[in-house]
Chain A
Amino acid sequence: MKSLLLILRSVIEQTREAVATLVGTIRYTLESPWNFRAIGEHMFLVGNRSLVFVLLTLGFLGAITSLQAGFQALRIIGDTTIIGQQLLPLLVRQLGPTLVGLMVATRVGTGIAAEIGSMVVTEQVDALRMCNAPPLDYLVKPRFLACLVMLPVLVVFGVMAAFLSAMGVAALVFHTPPRVFANLDFVSLIDVGEGLVKAVAFGAAIPVIAGAAGLAARGGSEGVGEATTRAVVSASLAVIVLDFVIGGLAFLVRT
C-alpha cells in the first residue's frame, strides 16, 4: 500500500514536470524567434532517420494483424474477403498512430534523452544557461516542432506500409485478391481525423517528456542511462494513455 502511494506520487510529480516543460516550450515557441536550421536538422533526424525503422515494424504489424484476422474470419464465418475493409479503419484510427507513436518514443525519445542527458552531466547545459540560452528554448523547442510535424508524416507512411503488407499476406496465405482487399469504403472522415489528432498529440508529448527526462539527469554515465530508461517508459505510457483518452472522445463523437 505504501509503495503504491509512492508510485502514485512519482507519477503525479512526473506529470507535473512534463506539463511544466510543455507550457514552457509552447511559451518559447510563441515568443522567441525560430531557428529554422536547427528545426530542419531535427526534422531530418526524426523523419528520415526513423522512416526505415517505422516502415519495417509497421509492415510486420500489418502482416501479423492480417494473419490473426484471417484465422479468426476463417474460424467464425469462413470468408476472408471482408478482412481488408474491416482492417483499414482500425489501422487508420488506432493501430497505425499508436504503434508509430511507440516506435518514435523508443527511437527518438531515447535519442533525445541520451543527448540532452549527456549535455547535462558534462555541464554543457549550464554553459548554455550562462550564455542566456535557456535549454527549453535552445534544445527542446526545435525537437518539439520537428516531432510535431514529422509524426503525422510517419503515421501516413506507416499505415501505408502496414496495409500493403497486410494485402500481401492476405493474397499469399488466404488467396484474397488485392482488388477485393483494397476496399476504402469503410474509412470515415472521423477515423482519419482521430488518427491525425492522435499523431499530433503523440508528436507533442514524446519530445517534451523525453526532454524533461534528459534535463533531470544527474550523475555520470549511470545518470544518462537512467534518464534514457525513464524517457522511453514515460513516453510510451503517455502514448497509451493519450490513445485511450482521444479514442474514448472519438467513440463518443461517433455514437
Chain B
Amino acid sequence: MSTFVQGLFHRIGAWFLRLAEVVGELALFTGQVGRATLRPRIDRFELWRCLYRVGVRSLPIVAVTAFFAGAITVLQVGSYVVKLRAYEVVGWGFGFSVFREIGPLLIGLMFSGRVGANATAELGTMTVTEQVDALRTLAIDPIDYLVLPRILAQVVMMTLLYSLGCLFALVGGVVTAWSLIGVDPWVFWNSFTEYVLVADFLNGLTKATMFGLLIGVVSCGFGLSVRGGAPGVGRAVNACVVAAAVGIFVLDYFLTYLLG
C-alpha cells in the first residue's frame, strides 16, 4: 500500500517537474523572442516566403473547416429553434456562437495542426541536421532569421484567415439553414445583421490574433529544442500540437472572461 502511495506521489511529482521544465523553457524562449522584437532585423525575403507558405497554403483547409463549422452550428441551434418555433433567431444564435467562440477555436486548432506542426517539423529537421548550428557559426542569429518571420507570419495570417473563415462559415450556415431547417436566407440575414454586432467580430478577432501568437511561439520553441534524429522530430510535432491545444483552451477561457 505504502509503495503504491509513494509511486503515485512520485509520478505526480515527475509530471509537475516535466511540466515546469516545458513551461520554463517556453518562457525563456518567449523572453528571447521579445528581446529580438525590440531591435527587429527581419530578413524580408524569408518573411515573404513564410507569409506565402502559412497563408496561401492553409487557406483551403481553413475555408473547409469554417464552412462545416457554420453548418454544424446551425444544426445545433436549429434543434432548439425548431422546438421553440423561433425561426427568426437562427441568425443570432449562429452569429454569436461562430464569431465569438467556435470560429476562433476550430480555426485555431486547425491552424495549429497545419501550420504549427509544419513549423515544428521544419525547424526540428533543421536542428537535428545541425543547420541551425551552421547558421550560428555564420554569426546569423536563428531567432532573427528563422523564428521572428515565422511568428510574425502566423500572427498576421491567423488574423486574416479568421476574417475569411467567418465569410465561409456564413455561407455554410445560410446554406444549411435554408436546406435543412427551411429558413429563408433573407430571414437569416436580417436576424444576423440585427443582433450580431461588430463587437462580436472584434471579440473573435482578438482571440484569433492571440491564438496566432501562441501557436507561433509554441511551435518555434518546440522546433528548436528537438533532440535525437527522425523519431525526435515526430515526438516534437506531437508535443507541439498537444501543448498548443492546451494553451488555446486556457487562453480562450481567460480571454472570454476578460473580453466579456
Contacts and interface: CB of A to CB of B under 8 A. Distances in A.
The answer on A and B forming one complex is yes
Nearest to B118: A229
Given A110-B238, A252-B180, 10 more contacts: A60-B250, A67-B253, A224-B233, A225-B118, A225-B121, A229-B113, A229-B117, A232-B241, A244-B72, A247-B72
Interface in A197-246: 220-222, 224-226, 228-229, 232-233, 236-237, 240-241, 243-244
Contacts of B234: 110, 113-115, 117-118, 224-225, 228
A98 B65 CA distance: 13
Interface in A65-122: 65, 67-68, 71-72, 86, 90, 93-94, 98, 102-103, 105-107, 110-111, 113-115, 117-118, 121-122
A94 B61 contact: no
A103 B245 CA distance: 8
Interface residues of B, number: 54
B253 A106 contact: no
Interface of A: 4, 7, 53, 56-57, 60-61, 63-65, 67-68, 71-72, 86, 90, 93-94, 98, 102-103, 105-107, 110-111, 113-115, 117-118, 121-122, 220-222, 224-226, 228-229, 232-233, 236-237, 240-241, 243-244, 247-248, 251-252, 254-255
A114 B238 contact: yes
Contacts, number: 149
A67 B257 contact: yes
A84 to B, nearest CB: 15
Contact of A224 (B96, B113, B129, B230): B230
B252 interface: yes
Majority DSSP secondary structure for residues of A touching B? helix
A79 to B, nearest CB: 16
Among all A-B residue pairs, the 3 with the closest Cβ atoms: A225-B121, A114-B234, A221-B230
B231 interface: yes
Given A57-B246, A60-B250, A106-B109, A228 B238 contact: yes
A58 to B, nearest CB: 8
A251 B181 CA distance: 9
